[in-house]
Amino acid sequence: MLKIEPRKNRSNFLEVSAPVIAVILTMIFGGFLFLSMGKNPFEAIKLIFWDPIMSPTFSEYSRPQLVIKAAPLILIALGLSFGFRANIWNIGAEGQYIMGALFSGSIGLALYPLDAWFIFPLMILGGIIGGIFWAMIPAILKIKFNTNEILVSLMLVYVAEQILALASISFLRNPEGLGFPGSRDLSKYPSASNPELIANSGIHVGVICSFIAVVFLTYFLTYHRLGFQIKLIGQAPKAAKFSGVNVNYIVIFCLGLSGGLAGIAGMFELTGPAGLINIDFNVGYGFTAIIVAFLGRLHPIGILFAGLLMSLTYVGGELAQFMLSIPAAAIQVFQGMLLFFLLSTDLLVSYKISFNLGINNSNPKSKSE
Partner 1 sequence: MKILKICSIILSTLFVSSFAIASDMKVGFIMVGPLDDHGWNYQHSVGIKAINEAFGDKVETIYQENVPEGPDAERVMTQMVLSGADMIFATSFGHMDPVINVAKKFPDVKFEHATGFKTADNVSTYSARFYEGRSVIGHIAGKVTKSNKIGYVASYPIPEVVRGINSAYLAAKAANPDVEFKVIWIFTWFDPAKEADAAKTLIQQGADVIMQHVDSSAIMTVAEEAGVFAYGQASDMSEFGPNAHLTAIINGWGPYYVKRVKEAMDGTWKGKQETFDGIGDGMVIIGKMSDKIPASVRKEAQDLADSIASGDIHPFTGPINKQDGSPWLADGEEADIGTLLGMNFYVEGIEGDIPQ
Task: Note the residues at the interface with partner 1 (CB under 8 A).
Answer: 40, 42-43, 57-58, 61-62, 65, 68-69, 162, 165-166, 169-170, 178-181, 185, 269, 273-276, 278-281, 283, 315, 318-319, 321-325, 327-329
Query: Alpha-carbon distance 314 to 312, whole Å?
Result: 5
Among the listed residues 288, 294, 277, the one whose alpha carbon sits nearest the alpha carbon of residue 160: 277
In the complex, the smallest distance separating the C-beta of residue 315 from partner 1, rounded to whole angstroms, is: 7
- Chain center to CA of 111: 31
In the complex, the smallest distance separating the C-beta of residue 195 from partner 1, rounded to whole angstroms, is: 14
Beta-bridge partners for 4: 353
In the complex, the smallest distance separating the C-beta of residue 178 from partner 1, rounded to whole angstroms, is: 5
Among the listed residues 155, 127, 130, the one whose alpha carbon sits nearest the alpha carbon of residue 265: 127
Q: Which is nearer to partner 1, 38 or 121 (CB)?
A: 38
Q: Which is nearer to partner 1, 14 or 333 (CB)?
A: 333
Q: Which is nearer to partner 1, 72 or 138 (CB)?
A: 72
In the complex, the smallest distance separating the C-beta of residue 345 from partner 1, rounded to whole angstroms, is: 26
In the complex, the smallest distance separating the C-beta of residue 323 from partner 1, rounded to whole angstroms, is: 6
Q: Which is nearer to partner 1, 198 or 283 (CB)?
A: 283
In the complex, the smallest distance separating the C-beta of residue 210 from partner 1, rounded to whole angstroms, is: 16
Q: Which is nearer to partner 1, 153 or 311 (CB)?
A: 311
In the complex, the smallest distance separating the C-beta of residue 133 from partner 1, rounded to whole angstroms, is: 23
Q: Which is nearer to partner 1, 94 or 149 (CB)?
A: 94
Q: Which is nearer to partner 1, 22 or 274 (CB)?
A: 274
